[in-house]
Amino acid sequence: MVEVVNWQEVNNVWKKKRDEGKLTEEVELLSEERLAQWKLFWPGDWTIVEYKRLEQLYDNIMKTNNIVTAIQEDQAKKLCMFSLMADKKIVDNKDATREMKMYQDTIKSAGFEPKNARNYGDFESVGELMSYLVKLGFKPKFYDGNNRDEVDFTIKNQQSWLSRLVRNEPSIVELVEQRRDGYKVQQILEEEGMTDDELEAYDGMGMNTEWEDGDELFDAELDDEE
């Protein structure tokens, strides 16, 4: 009897392992790659179990402390190694005084004391809050049509001034049309290969030229020359 595989269940299992950070433990190739990354990140010779312990402790320190500089990250790494070194000596019934002193000194110098720790769910800035809201699906509407600051009022004033300028100038429409017609005439003359002197002679032809989109250019002066 052929066993039917529910791929949805398989995907859910792999997704759960990925979310728990255990995916690399299940895939040999990924596990070897992770081991190489650990050796590069953590100085010294550690076992797989010790690497996992270092990673877990480092991740907790990064989550519960406000670490923003490379020096703090390096201190966090040293704190993890001092902690593991002390634990190994304690388990072996050896004197761990030196390791514990280095551990305590690092906590103080790096500011990793409990009084300075933060809750992982706390927001340290408005940027973190907005990033969290965006991940939840929030889509900010940056402008709602209301004037709320100096920039909005400045833009509104410029728009009002331009509107009054256009409406209070009855000849502006004609000026725009003349400039448009002149530009179109100049383009046609350039395509016909006229010289610069000839173009200058026709520079103001837009003032007395009629133009309709899709129709040929009609110019009385050109007809007379022909």
Q: For the chain, what are the domain ranges? A: 7-117, 150-225
What string of DSSP letters covers 168-203? T-TTHHHHHHHHHHHHHHHHHHHHTT--HHHHHHTT
Alpha-helical runs (H) found in 21-142: 23-26, 28-41, 48-64, 70-91, 97-110, 126-135
The string of pLDDT tens digits covering residues 17-62 is 777 776 665 554 456 777 888 888 998 888 888 988 999 999 888 8
Q: Would you state the pLDDT for residue 222?
A: 46
Using DSSP, state whether 2 is helix, strand or coil: coil
Q: What is the pLDDT of residue 97?
A: 92
Taking the CB of residue 76, how many other CB atoms lie within 10 A of it? 20
Q: What is the mean pLDDT of residues 182-198?
A: 73
Question: Rounded to an integer, what is the distance from CA 142 to the centroid of its chain?
Answer: 17
Of the listed ranges 23-32, 200-209, 216-225, the least confidently predicted one is: 216-225
Of the ranges 5-9, 77-81, 216-220, the best mean pLDDT one: 77-81
* pLDDT for position 54: 92
Question: Does the pLDDT value for residue 106 go beyond 60?
Answer: yes
**CB crowding 207-224: b at 16 or more within 10 Å, else e:** eebebeeeeeeebeeeee
State the helix-helix crossing angle for 70-91 and 97-110, rounded to 10 degrees: 160
Over residues 192-198, mean pLDDT: 66
pLDDT value of position 29:
47
Q: What is the pLDDT of residue 206?
A: 47
Classify residue 218 by its DSSP letter: B
* DSSP 8-state class, residue 94: -
Confidence of residue 201 (pLDDT cuts 50, 70, 90): low
pLDDT at 77 exceeding the cut of 50: yes
Q: Is the pLDDT of residue 82 over 90?
A: yes
Q: What is the pLDDT of residue 116?
A: 65
| pTM for the whole structure | 0.43
